[in-house]
Structure 1
Amino acid sequence: MENRSPVKYLYHLAKLIRQKHAIDILDVWDKQDLKLPQDPSDFVDDHTFQTACLIALEQANDPALGITFGQSITITHFGPLGAAMMSCACFEDAINLIFEYADVFVPFGVTQSQQKSGAKISALIPEISDAYTEFHALAFVTGAAQSFNELLGFVPKDIKAELPCSPLSEEEQALLPISLAFNKTQACFYIPKEVLALSLPRHDEVSKSQFVEVCQKIKKGLGQEEALSNQIIKLLDNYDSYPSIEQLSQTLNTSARTLRYRLKKEALNYREIVSQHRLRRANDLLQHSTLSIDQVAEKTGYKDTPSFYRAYKKAFGCTPAAFRNDRRS
């Protein structure tokens, strides 16, 4: 099933760009025949969301836009999910709700992995372009810090974050009251156990149940009970090299045997999913990078370039070089 993203984030981005740069992104989208729902509470498919976002980022040409966007996002932008999070008993309960309903209320996927010292929360940002990745990474870290402050009343100093971009200026770093590490492979947070156990000041179990019920209805209405194969594809987007099924099963908090069984029910296996993902990633690299064909083959996990050529031609009916030349022309 095709994933969908809240269109309100696009309208909010357009509003920020108009205020900061005096550029009417709505008019630009319209001229490029990009039709968005008029209702801000509606949703768009991921391809439309990504295309609209790329156009906006290109027009603004503002490396710090991700920080501005993240700072402007409050927990109320999550709608009933934000209200449910505010009503939770502890910080960990609120974080867990994000993972349950991120596919409905958040403009990109998130995942978590348990560690001895606490939890790692990562953003699953598609590798569309450097500008797209940097914008969403900065928005994720800045927006999450903002939400932490709203939930707890402060941002715990023990929280650390990593970013897949170059170091920020001193002025930009001052806007993020957490420890930052740069030039990493993904945007993520490390949250200690002590922080996860912190109580929330607005705990109300009755209100939480009511808002969670609303979240469930919205998710059901969108048909967002996502197939396991789609969840795996989202996770693979976040890896530089492909994990074994055993490694991936740990991320999904299950066993490799159970994972194989559940995929079999969808008439798929892990090898097929990886093969499809390699080809999709290859198309992105051929179209949006300057890597050579040999480098694309290596980056997408093929043992050699001839193997890459054979797999690509079998899938798409043309060679990787022909595809790249066609897109560039």
Structure 2
Amino acid sequence: MKDRTQDQTLALYAIKAVDAAEIRGFDCSSHIAAAGLHRHDLQDSQQLIPVENYLRLIDLLITESKVQGLGLSVGQHTALPEHGVLGYALLGSKTLRQALERLQRYVILYGEMLELQLQQQGDDAWIAVRTFRRPHMSNAVCCYLTEELVANLCNIGLDIEIGYQWFSRIEFGFRSPGYPEVYAAELGCPISYEHRESRLYFPAPLLEHPFECRSERTDVLCEQQCEMLLNDLQLERGLTSEIHHMLARAPENIPTIDEVATAFNMSISTLKRRLSDEQMTFRQIVLDFRLGMAKAYLQKSPLSANEISALLGYSDPPSFYRAFRRKFGLSPQQYRVQI
């Protein structure tokens, strides 16, 4: 069975698009319904919704609202922390290079829509952007996704204090959308169209620009969460993977089985039965998640075992030590010495 998290994205992106259209006086209610969504699907920005429904909604909003540069507006008004664990992983990076490399690796976590590649040649560096050609994805939607990404990347410039308009030139892999003056005003650099792929150029020395306000603790936490989510996509583990995705968004506040069942709109008995079909229990999922994160912290962070215990929501360190030893046959301290 194909893992459904690979075909889902955060409701955040649909919420932002609807807000951007409605603030201009456009009523999105009928379009939300036509896309197969409901208003209650768009109440929690960190809830997952199907990518196909999201893209259908974007297509409808672009076609009907006639808002010029809708993707630019959405990207501009989406701060990095709003992207959840991926946003915090970017903010926790040491340099712009590390942030872009992480974005390149983890962008797929929120749906197969965009593919990025960071490249460098001499004093020039660029980010190549390609859209996944999904069935029925219009050119307008491809344009929107690229617009949104570009504006999000411009926001990174604000976070590291190099300014919003930090690209030296941009080549778009699509025809001019008919409002080049909007692009020029927003992006502030030479822009051309109809290239083989979209490329965002900038001076290569910027790659080593540091993130001054980074937190090493947050950095380690979020990178490992992203890795676990990426592994889930590769393992294609169905509902188990979706619950892992939910746990990884708030590892210090592990939800109860009641809360998880409510989030997935099913009864506790149905949740247990679905997990049983995957030869898994909710308790085992939580335990595997916590101990998998613990191993990653012991390998890649300076955090003490007691700090890791608290970070993963254990009520007391001895409970964590016992669980770790049962799983791996070693205490956390012994495991760290051996790696």
* TM-score category, normalised to shorter length: 0.5 to 0.7
Q: Is the 8 A contact 1:91 1:195 kept in 2?
A: yes
Kindly state the Cα deviation for residue 97 of structure 1 after the two structures are TM-superposed: 1.1
Letter in 2 for 1:214: Q
TM-score, normalised with respect to structure 2: 0.58
Letter in 2 for 1:191: F
- Measure the CA separation in 1 of the matches of 2:158 and 2:35: 39
- Residue aligning to 1:132: 141
Q: Is the 8 A contact 1:121 1:189 kept in 2?
A: yes
Q: Is the 8 A contact 1:86 1:203 kept in 2?
A: yes
Kindly state the Cα deviation for residue 209 of structure 1 after the two structures are TM-superposed: 0.5
- Match status 1:122 vs 2:125: no
Kindly state the Cα deviation for residue 155 of structure 1 after the two structures are TM-superposed: 4.2
Kindly state the Cα deviation for residue 33 of structure 1 after the two structures are TM-superposed: 4.2
User: In the alignment, which of 164, 180, 185 is matched to residue 174 of structure 1?
Assistant: 185
Distance 1:17 1:225, change over 3 A: same
RMSD: 2.8
Letter in 1 for 2:227: Q
Distance 1:216 1:157, change over 3 A: closer
Q: Is the 8 A contact 1:7 1:43 kept in 2?
A: yes
* Deviation larger for 93-102 or 178-187: 178-187
Q: Is the 8 A contact 1:79 1:105 kept in 2?
A: no
- Residue aligning to 1:269: none
Kindly state the Cα deviation for residue 122 of structure 1 after the two structures are TM-superposed: 2.5
Distance 1:178 1:208, change over 3 A: farther
Deviations 1:47-96 (A, max 9, x none): 22221221222221223212212211221222222222222211101111
Q: How many residues align?
A: 224
Distance 1:86 1:179, change over 3 A: farther
Instruction: Percent identity, please.
Output: 14
Deviations 1:275-321 (A, max 9, x none): xxxxxxxxxxxxxxxxxxxxxxxxxxxxxxxxxxxxxxxxxxxxxxx
Gaps of 5+ in 2: 237-339
- SS of corresponding position for 1:89: coil
- Residue aligning to 1:8: 12
Structure 1 consecutive aligned stretches of length 4 or more whose deviation exceeds 6 Å: none
Q: Is the 8 A contact 2:21 2:67 kept in 1?
A: no
- Residue aligning to 1:238: none
Q: Is the 8 A contact 1:5 1:103 kept in 2?
A: no
- Match status 1:210 vs 2:221: yes
Q: Compare CA radii of gyration and give the structure with the larger one.
A: 2
- Residue aligning to 1:51: 56
User: In the alignment, which of 71, 75, 87 is matched to residue 76 of structure 2?
Assistant: 71
- Measure the CA separation in 2 of the matches of 1:32 and 1:198: 42
Q: Is the 8 A contact 2:36 2:53 kept in 1?
A: no
- Residue aligning to 1:30: 33
| 1:228-239 superposed matches below 5 A | none
Kindly state the Cα deviation for residue 131 of structure 1 after the two structures are TM-superposed: 1.8
Distance 1:3 1:53, change over 3 A: same
Distance 1:113 1:157, change over 3 A: closer
Deviations 1:73-126 (A, max 9, x none): 221222222222222211101111112211124773222153323543233324
TM-score, normalised with respect to structure 1: 0.59
- Residue aligning to 1:18: 22
- Residue aligning to 2:163: 154
Letter in 1 for 2:19: K
Gaps of 5+ in 1: 228-329
Deviations 1:208-263 (A, max 9, x none): 1022233334445xx32279xxxxxxxxxxxxxxxxxxxxxxxxxxxxxxxxxxxx
- Measure the CA separation in 2 of the matches of 1:193 and 1:212: 24
Distance 1:83 1:151, change over 3 A: farther
Kindly state the Cα deviation for residue 171 of structure 1 after the two structures are TM-superposed: 5.0
Q: Is the 8 A contact 1:119 1:192 kept in 2?
A: yes
Q: Is the 8 A contact 1:14 1:26 kept in 2?
A: no
Letter in 2 for 1:79: G
- Residue aligning to 1:92: 97
- Measure the CA separation in 2 of the matches of 1:7 and 1:162: 29
- Residue aligning to 1:253: none
Letter in 2 for 1:99: Q
